[in-house]
Amino acid sequence: MRARNTTTFAVLTALALTVPVLAVSPAVAAPTAASGWSDSVTDAGGFVGMAPTRMLDTRTDNTPNHSPRTPIGPGEHYVALLQGDVIPHGATAVVVNVTATNQTATGYLTLGGGVPAGGGAPETSSLNFIPGQTISNLVTVALGQGTGRPTVDIFNSAGRTDVILDVVGYYQPGAGDEFAPLTPTRVTDTRTDSAGPIGGRTTRSIKVARPELGTADARAVVLSVTATESTADTFVTVYPGGTARPAEGSNINVPIRRSTPNQVVVPVGEDGRINIYNNAGAVNVVVDVVGYYGPSGTGLFRALKQPVRQFDSRVAGRALGYYETRRIAVLSSDGSTPDVVAVETNVTATNVSTPGHLTVYPGPNRPDTSNLNVEPATTSANSVTTGLNGGTFSVFNAGGPLDLITDLTGFFTTG
């Protein structure tokens, strides 16, 4: 008997048949944000950042309320207990880097604030994987409090997989810093910088608190970081400048010669810098800043206790075409969500026809940045924080036709 606080559900064959071979999540459209916000949202909170802190690893004994060294099974909801001495009582949401590894089947993970009503598979996804792949994604998720300690529900759609959670911050009412979205701007590209790629077991320091970026008083920054052209399988860790590298925790797992993006939220060191560490080989790193937290921010975060599907081109009946831009509606048409300045959304591309990338931005002018690299026969996902323009954000497809899915996890409001 496995001693864990979890509810296990079988994935119904009939449900599985509605999903494409490269499943991202059940092919059923959840209520869109445009039809009204869910009533199940957390109180508004400010952000408190930290260097990556490992709170779950099913490969080791660091598995609270879970049989050590035991993967999460197919169709299983595992309620992970987080460290109460790190995540304070009253925190409403947590920002975690979730990694899946040692998978036995193609599938996905979904993180939420609790097991969905009625159980079964959630209608959204957080991370897609194939067997034997080590892959990460940043996820912002509402916290459950039913056990007296903060919890996160982890659902595994298929096979068995090990799961690792590295916490990089949390939201708490009456505490922390407020958020300011920015037009995405490229900060560093080692492919063109004179310093060149980052070598193995080497750290590169980058100035991110800069007046020309609008981040002069930033205490933490939100970045889209892409690792590319690696000469070995490696991982990349981003952490505050002037501090020791975390003993555990990483932001991007990078296969050799693959472009791998991830969103990163990292505190800014006292010198206005962050550090980027590469573990093995040599790798090029591209860094785009999309927002920051600090005294001049205005947005407080409200997390949806269960993520909501905003858009699914498979349901809409038209894929995102060659070099097409699609505007995604976010705000309610009834005007019930005033003063929303930005959203947290998980962006997934599937049924990809050619290599390319997606750029997510407020609009109307498209920046020279990227959020998600895509490859044929691969389903890819990445968390995105983006400001809004007229209640929408834009997604540009730099490549061939693909299906686009966006899942809303929360929003920033000044109201």
CATH of the domain at 394: 2.60.120
Q: Which of 52-56, 159-163, 263-267, 343-347 has the lowest mean pLDDT?
A: 52-56
Provide the 10 A C-beta neighbour count for residue 88: 12
**Position of tokens 């490229």?**
186
CB 374 within 8 A of CB 356: yes
Instruction: Look at residue 134 and tell me if it is in a domain.
Output: yes
Residue 171 has pLDDT above 50, yes or no: yes
CB 305 within 8 A of CB 112: yes
- How confident is the model over 120-138, as a mean pLDDT? 95
d(CA 308, CA 142): 13
CB 274 within 8 A of CB 218: no
Q: How confident is the model at residue 18 (pLDDT cuts 50, 70, 90)?
A: very low
The reported pLDDT for the residue numbered 26 is 35
Instruction: Look at residue 401 and tell me if it is in a domain.
Output: yes
Contacts of 318 (CB under 8 A, 6+ apart): none
Query: Which tokens belong to 415?
Result: 């109201």
What mean pLDDT, rounded, does the chain reach? 88
Which of 354, 349, 295, 346 lies closest to 322, judged by CA?
354
Look at the chain and report how many structural domains it folds into.
Answer: 3
The reported pLDDT for the residue numbered 338 is 62
Is 120 in the same domain as 243?
no
Is 288 in the same domain as 321?
no
Is 11 in the same domain as 120?
yes
The reported pLDDT for the residue numbered 39 is 61
Q: How confident is the model at residue 61 (pLDDT cuts 50, 70, 90)?
A: confident
Is 56 in the same domain as 167?
yes
Higher pLDDT, 322 or 3: 322
Is 385 in the same domain as 240?
no
Which of 53, 29, 45 lies closest to 316, judged by CA?
29
Q: How confident is the model at residue 116 (pLDDT cuts 50, 70, 90)?
A: confident
Final residue before a domain boundary, out of 172, 195, 222: 172
Q: What is the pTM of this model?
A: 0.89
Q: How confident is the model at residue 367 (pLDDT cuts 50, 70, 90)?
A: very high
d(CA 216, CA 320): 37
Which of 143, 182, 111, 172 lies closest to 342, judged by CA?
182
d(CA 320, CA 343): 21
Instruction: Look at residue 1 and tell me if it is in a domain.
Output: no
Is the bond into 364 cis (omega within 30 degrees of 0)?
A: yes
Query: Which tokens belong to 139?
Result: 């996820």
Contacts of 63 (CB under 8 A, 6+ apart): 56, 57, 69, 70
The reported pLDDT for the residue numbered 410 is 95
Residue 10 has pLDDT above 50, yes or no: no
The reported pLDDT for the residue numbered 202 is 98
Which of 261, 231, 242, 249 lies closest to 383, judged by CA?
261
- How confident is the model over 10-21, as a mean pLDDT? 25
Is 183 in the same domain as 106?
no
Query: Which tokens belong to 141?
Result: 């998720």
Provide the 10 A C-beta neighbour count for residue 39: 6
Instruction: Look at residue 314 and tell me if it is in a domain.
Output: yes
Q: CA gyration radius for the chain? A: 20
Query: Which tokens belong to 397?
Result: 């497809």
Instruction: State percent of the chain over pLDDT 90.
Output: 79
Is 21 in the same domain as 162?
yes
d(CA 320, CA 397): 7
Q: How confident is the model at residue 102 (pLDDT cuts 50, 70, 90)?
A: very high
Which of 312, 328, 343, 325 lies closest to 410, judged by CA?
343
Residue 97: give the domain boundaries: 6-172
Higher pLDDT, 38 or 233: 233
The reported pLDDT for the residue numbered 185 is 98
- How confident is the model over 206-224, as a mean pLDDT? 98
Instruction: Look at residue 264 and tell me if it is in a domain.
Output: yes
Is 222 in the same domain as 332?
no
Residue 35 has pLDDT above 60, yes or no: no
The reported pLDDT for the residue numbered 332 is 60
Residue 11 has pLDDT above 50, yes or no: no
Q: How many CA atoms lie within 13 A of 249 on its CB side?
A: 23
Higher pLDDT, 18 or 365: 365
Which of 88, 97, 101 lies closest to 60, judged by CA?
101
Return the C-alpha torsion angle 408, 7, 137, 216, nearest 10: 60
d(CA 23, CA 378): 10
Residue 33 has pLDDT above 70, yes or no: no
Instruction: Look at residue 274 and tell me if it is in a domain.
Output: yes
Final residue before a domain boundary, out of 259, 278, 294: 294
Provide the 10 A C-beta neighbour count for residue 134: 18
Higher pLDDT, 390 or 293: 293
The reported pLDDT for the residue numbered 392 is 93
Is 254 in the same domain as 109?
no
DSSP string for residues in 195-216: T-SBPTTEEEEEE---GGGT-T
Is 162 in the same domain as 210?
no
The reported pLDDT for the residue numbered 290 is 98
Is 140 in the same domain as 40?
yes
Is 285 in the same domain as 196?
yes
The reported pLDDT for the residue numbered 65 is 66
Q: Is 259 buried (19+), middle (13-18) or exposed (0-12) by CB count in 10 A? A: buried
Residue 28 has pLDDT above 90, yes or no: no
The reported pLDDT for the residue numbered 32 is 40
Instruction: Look at residue 68 and tell me if it is in a domain.
Output: yes
Final residue before a domain boundary, out of 273, 294, 315: 294
The reported pLDDT for the residue numbered 276 is 98
Instruction: Look at residue 112 and tell me if it is in a domain.
Output: yes
